[in-house]
Structure 1
Amino acid sequence: MDTWIPNLLNLLALPEYSLGTVFVVSFISATLLPMGSEPVVFGLVQLNPDLFWPVVLVATAGNTLGGAVSWWMGYGAHRVADHYGKSAHHLRALDWLRKLGPKACLLAWLPLVGDPLCAVAGWLKLPFWPCVAYMAVGKLARYTLMTAALSGLATLW
């Protein structure tokens, strides 16, 4: 059963699938699974500097769609969570997110809190498309700045 994972990774490592790999890894890393897409994005840009913008845009698209899936997971979990009590910290965080609205999804790029933030936005039933738009803006800025900075550092070595 576990042999399919290495086979899939070997397939995705082929040059003709490089942007597809970036998309898949970026998508998966934006869900609640603990995975980072930065090494794949940076590695591909280092191997093919002329692909900087295609890689950044594909990573942004994959990561944004993964954030949208997290939003829907949060939306679906809303009914379940309503049956459980809420702590004071929980209620304050929810109030803060309600006040901020979809703009809170600009922070979806943050490590550790960004992915759950997308789920909470769905749970709060914040408007889907504005949330996705703010996710995309934040993630595009993240991938652009991170890849440019790492590429600049790599040229110094």
Structure 2
Amino acid sequence: MSDIAAYGSLFLVALAAATIFPAQSELLLAGLHSSGNYHDGLLILAATTGNVAGSTVNWALGRYLMHFQDRRWFPVSRRLVERATGWYQRFGVWSLLLAWVPFIGDPLTLVAGILRVDLRLFLLLVTLGKLGRYVALIVAL
């Protein structure tokens, strides 16, 4: 696989993984890293950037499209939104550092949009959490 295709694929899988689509960016990252053919810093950059972009889509859904939450096509159930809101109310804006955690991270980013968290603060906290996760994964491999 060419470098551009590998990094681009990782970006797209990481983006999808941060939205409602089932995707495992960690598996692709681990595979590309294990091959020894790619630069770890660029792998981390592609995965983090894609995953943060996906979380930003969730933020925008919460910020601008929550009035559609009762429609069948809406990507997050009311139950998940309520659960994430509870996490957010318990830990505040710092809960966004956990945006990488399976099952709660995506709804947390949606709730951040609903609660109109400043996009700059959102991007900072979500990026720190997701970057930390991908760095830890590379180090563990």
TM over 0.5: yes
Displacement of 1:79 in angstroms is 2.9
- TM-score by length of structure 2 reads 0.81
Displacement of 1:147 in angstroms is 2.1
**Structure 1 108/96 Cα, relative in aligned 2: closer, same or farther at 3 Å?**
closer
Query: Which ranges in structure 2 are unaligned for 5 or more consecutive residues?
Result: 71-77
Output the CA distance in 2 between the equivalents of 1:119 and 1:64. 13
Output the CA distance in 2 between the equivalents of 1:101 and 1:136. 17
8 A Cα contact 2:32 2:38, kept in partner:
no
Displacement of 1:78 in angstroms is 2.9
Larger radius of gyration: 1
- TM-score by length of structure 1 reads 0.73
8 A Cα contact 1:98 1:124, kept in partner:
no
8 A Cα contact 2:33 2:43, kept in partner:
yes
> Which of these residues, 78, 83, 101, is aligned with residue 66 of structure 2?
78
Say what the alpha-carbon RMSD is for the aligned residues.
2.5
Displacement of 1:52 in angstroms is 1.2
Q: Deviations over 1:121-152 (max 9, x none)?
A: 11121111101110000000000101221x2x
Q: Deviations over 1:33-69 (max 9, x none)?
A: 1211011101111112651111012111110111111
Aligned pair 1:15/2:2, yes or no?
Answer: yes
Aligned pair 1:67/2:82, yes or no?
Answer: no
Q: Which has the higher helix share?
A: 1
Matched pairs, number: 132
Output the CA distance in 2 between the equivalents of 1:132 and 1:96. 18
8 A Cα contact 1:23 1:58, kept in partner:
yes
Query: Which ranges in structure 1 are unaligned for 5 or more consecutive residues?
Result: 1-13, 152-157
